[in-house]
């Protein structure tokens, strides 16, 4: 099996996960293919990647293992983290945008934040962008930072459409 061919190449492809460390403005990543994990320290994404030791659970029992083994819900609960899925973000948004427009902008925002150092927000906490688990990207963040990340997501989407 050619593992490199089976894993995503771009940061926003299905199977990819990006971790943004707001405290240090670093990024790390890994990819999931089935129950296999590939650590993307310098593979395709340049030499600005860092490790995953700062995530709850560290490397051995961390988020990557939870995603690959299908135990994400347990991992989130055990570490005081939560998911911000598309539906969660949209339900907290101001009314006015069509569902189709909101979905497009949410996906666009997740892709931009995963791919570029210039487009992600300047936040002081770590968050994760997950392209591995569902058909649309999800964000994971510590419970205490959920409201701030949710507000940042919706604020940007609303500003793009003049609401």
The tally of CA atoms less than 13 A away on the side-chain side of residue 67 is 27
pLDDT given for residue 74 in this prediction: 93
Helix (H) or strand (E) holding 66: helix 63-69
Distance separating alpha carbons of residues 112 and 18, to the nearest angstrom: 11
Give the per-residue pLDDT at 26. 77
In a 3-state reduction of DSSP, which class is residue 105?
Answer: helix
Place of tokens 């570029």: 116
Of the candidates 132, 137, 113, the residue with the CA atom closest to the CA atom of residue 123: 113
Predicted confidence at residue 147, as pLDDT, reads 96
What are the tens digits of pLDDT across the range 90-130? 998 888 888 888 999 999 999 988 887 666 778 899 999 99
The model's pLDDT over 37-76, given as tens digits with 9 standing for 90+, comes to: 877 654 444 455 555 666 776 666 788 888 888 899 999 9
| Integer Cα distance of 24 and 153 in angstroms | 20
- Report the C-alpha gap between 106 and 124 in whole angstroms: 21
């Amino acid at each position: 099996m050619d593992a490199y061919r089976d894993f995503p190449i771009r940061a926003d492809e299905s199977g990819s996960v990006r971790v943004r460390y707001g405290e240090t403005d670093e990024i790390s990543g890994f990819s999931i293919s089935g129950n296999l994990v590939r650590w993307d320290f310098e593979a395709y994404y340049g030499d600005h990647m860092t490790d995953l030791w700062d995530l709850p659970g560290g490397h051995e029992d961390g988020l990557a293992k939870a995603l690959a083994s299908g135990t994400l819900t347990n991992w989130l609960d055990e570490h005081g983290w939560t998911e911000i899925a598309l539906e969660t973000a949209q339900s907290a948004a101001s009314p006015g945008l069509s569902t189709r427009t909101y979905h497009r902008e949410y996906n666009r925002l997740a892709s931009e934040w995963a791919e570029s150092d210039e487009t992600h927000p300047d936040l002081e906490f770590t968050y994760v962008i997950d392209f591995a688990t569902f058909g649309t990207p999800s964000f994971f963040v510590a419970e205490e930072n959920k409201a701030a990340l949710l507000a940042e997501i919706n604020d940007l989407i609303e500003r793009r459409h003049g609401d």
